[in-house]
Every structure is written in C-alpha cells, then in structure tokens.
Amino acid sequence: MEPDSTLTPHRNTRARIALTIGDPAGIGPELVQALLDDDALARDVQLVVVGPEDLKPEGLGFWQGPDSPDSTTHLWCPTPGSGRVTMGSAQADCGRTALAALRCGADMAQAGHVAALVTAPVCKEALHLAGEEVEGQTELLGRWAAAKQCEMVAVAGNLRVMLLSRHLSLAAALKEVRRTTIVERLRLLDSTLRAEGIPAPRLAVAGLNPHAGEGGLFGSEETEEIAPAVAEARARGISVHGPISPDRVFLEGARGQWDGILALYHDQGFIPLKLLSEGRGVTLLAGLPYRRLSPVHGTAFDIAGSGRADPTNLRIAVQMAASGGLGSHQAQEEGPSDTLEGVDCDSLSST
C-alpha cells in the first residue's frame, strides 16, 4: 500500500531563533523574559534562549540540539556563569557570562541549528574586565566565524546604514576615509542587501564635510577620496550615488529613496538613525555566514532590574530575524528623485 502523501512528518513551522541574554547586570534578562511572555510572538517564533541556567523560568524546557521538539513553549540552552549578580555595573563575572552565551549562540547559528542569532546588549567594559579586549560583539563574532569582513548595518524602517568605521575616536575615524576602504564597504553593503532580498540596491554615500565639501571649499576628502571611490564602485556595477550632504541623505533614506547608505563614522550614522527609529532600530551584521541581529540600545545599567526596560527594540530584532530578509520590510519601492541623478558633490548643499 502506498503511503498517504498528505501525511508528512511534524516539523517546526515557527522560525527557531537563538537569543542570548547579554550582560546579566543590564536590561537583557528582563527584556528576554518579556519576549518569553509574549504569546503573539510565540505563534511565529520559537526562542532558544542562551544564558545561565539560574535565569531560566520555571517550566521552560531545555534545548536538546537541533532535534528539539516544536513544543508550545520556547527553550533554554544553559551556559556557564550566573545571572544572580549586582545589577547596574560592569563586572568581570558578567563579562565572562555574556561571552559564554554569545559563543554558544554563535556556534548554534553557524552550525545551522537555528535560523538566526539575536543578541541582547553586552557591556564592553565588562568584556575587557573578563580579558576580552575588543570593541564589541561585532569583532568577536567576526573572529569566531573567520569572516574576512564583518560590519554593522543599522536598520530603522527604510533607513539602512553601514558604517565605514565603528568605535574609533573621531580623529582616528577621519583617517579611515580612504578610497579603497569606501569601495570595500560599498561592495559589502551591496552584496548584503542583495542577500537580504533587495535585488538591485540603490546606495548612497554621505559626505564628510558640511554640504559634502561644497566642491572643495570645506575640505578635500569628497573630491580626493569619496567621489573617486563612488566612481570606482559604479565601474564595478554597483548602483551608488554621492557624496551627498550628510544633513539630507539620511532623511532621504528614511523616505525610501535609498536602500542603503554608507556613513563615514559612527555618530554620523547612528545619531540620525536613533532619532528616526524611535526606539525601533536594530543592527544586522554583514559578512557573517549566518544572520545576526541585535537592538541598537545598550545595557542601560541605570534602569537595569527596575522593570522599566522596553522590549520593543529586541522584539523587532527577533521578528526581523524570523522574517528571513530585510527585503520583506521595504515599505516602498520608489527610486531616487531625478534631481539626484548625476549631481556632483558641489551642487549638494542644503543651506
């Protein structure tokens, strides 16, 4: 007798997402608990929370590997360390606990045991106290995955911003504004957005100086480094425009005129993104062999343990991780305005 083709093995129809607890002295654990209590989220997502066992809610099942059942609840993957700590300060033990959870979550994602990794915030000072002197999770995850490039793409609605440099002093960041580095970042941003479901990304590069240099009147970086990099990227088949005055390009991105923007230093990109995101921004790591997202906020030691932390940001990160691509979050498909086509940097002043 032939088997009934309508009967198929039961499979997990929800997206399985690894979620690390972050620094246990920060707001990560209470945000994670809020997501575990979210019945609406549980309909679409099965969380595998990665962190110390003493933070596991009673009744939550343990992760037993990729064959763990599609239960009605989420799962917990215990890692070394303790969540019973003094709240609101950087501590070496908390750094070690956060590192253990992050490494476990990264291994799960790289092995393909989960659809994506979402990470609650860690404290860089605590990581340093634990002996891991890195800028943050980006560098750690890139190193563990042996990634050739690993860069942040911050996302808030239509606005998607990659940074040319991350946690550097402004003086050091300005030295990174070089043609070769800009071209490398544009290639990574283009390929990342394509992999995320945006088939023909429209990119823009922010200027460095007021009014994008005003044709060399306010600095030479636009004419000597940025514009040549844009020309080279175009020659490589990347649809990119710029340099565009930084006081307008991010608003254009938020309105959907650009699929991705390259910001030239950390605060140039994150100030407008956080202002426009209204607490809903997330970061995606480009260059990893798996998808990793996180909220844009930090550990918020000042309110940790008070119950006042808002889980919206982390919830959106999980939902975006479960969606499988940023392309599904595009709100509009309008192209850049005609006035931007072929415009040189000296005509891009706004005031």
pLDDT tens-place string over residues 119-128: 999 999 999 9
Domain co-membership, 252 together with 155: yes
Within a domain: 342: yes
Domain boundary among 146, 170, 192: 146
Asked whether 83 and 299 are in contact (CB, 8 A), the reply is: no
Share of the chain above pLDDT 70, in %: 89
pLDDT at 134: 84
Domain co-membership, 116 together with 238: no
Within a domain: 316: no
Within a domain: 322: no
Count: domains in the chain: 2
Within a domain: 348: yes
Share of the chain above pLDDT 90, in %: 76
- For the cut 80, the answer to whether the pLDDT of residue 99 exceeds it is yes
Domain co-membership, 347 together with 260: yes
Domain co-membership, 56 together with 196: no
Within a domain: 51: yes
Domain co-membership, 345 together with 239: yes
pLDDT at 334: 37
Confidence of residue 93 (pLDDT cuts 50, 70, 90): very high
Which domain CATH number covers 21? 3.40.718.10
pLDDT at 266: 94
* Mean pLDDT score, 207-224: 84
Domain boundary among 111, 129, 146: 146
Residues 6+ apart with CB under 8 A from 122: 22, 23, 26, 28, 95, 98, 102, 136, 137, 299
Residues 6+ apart with CB under 8 A from 164: 173, 176, 177, 181, 182, 185, 262, 263, 264, 265
Asked whether 293 and 232 are in contact (CB, 8 A), the reply is: no
Compute the mean pLDDT over every residue in the chain, rounded to the nearest whole number: 88
Domain co-membership, 170 together with 39: no
| pTM of the full structure | 0.85
- DSSP label of 200: S
Domain co-membership, 235 together with 340: yes
CA 192 – CA 332 distance, rounded (Å):
19
Domain co-membership, 232 together with 343: yes
Per-residue burial over 178-210, b if 16 or more Cβ lie within 10 Å, else e, is ebeebbbbbebbbebbeebebeebbbbbbbbbb
Domain co-membership, 187 together with 69: no
- For the cut 90, the answer to whether the pLDDT of residue 326 exceeds it is no
Domain co-membership, 345 together with 230: yes
CA 283 – CA 334 distance, rounded (Å):
24
Domain co-membership, 205 together with 137: no
pLDDT at 328: 57
pLDDT at 236: 97
CA-closest candidate to residue 102, choices 196, 9, 188, 19:
19
Within a domain: 242: yes
Domain boundary among 116, 146, 176: 146
* Mean pLDDT score, 231-253: 96
- For the cut 60, the answer to whether the pLDDT of residue 105 exceeds it is yes
pLDDT at 197: 94
Confidence of residue 145 (pLDDT cuts 50, 70, 90): very high
Domain co-membership, 213 together with 67: no
pLDDT at 181: 97
* Mean pLDDT score, 268-274: 93
Please give the residue range of the domain that contains residue 209. 151-285+333-351
Within a domain: 290: no
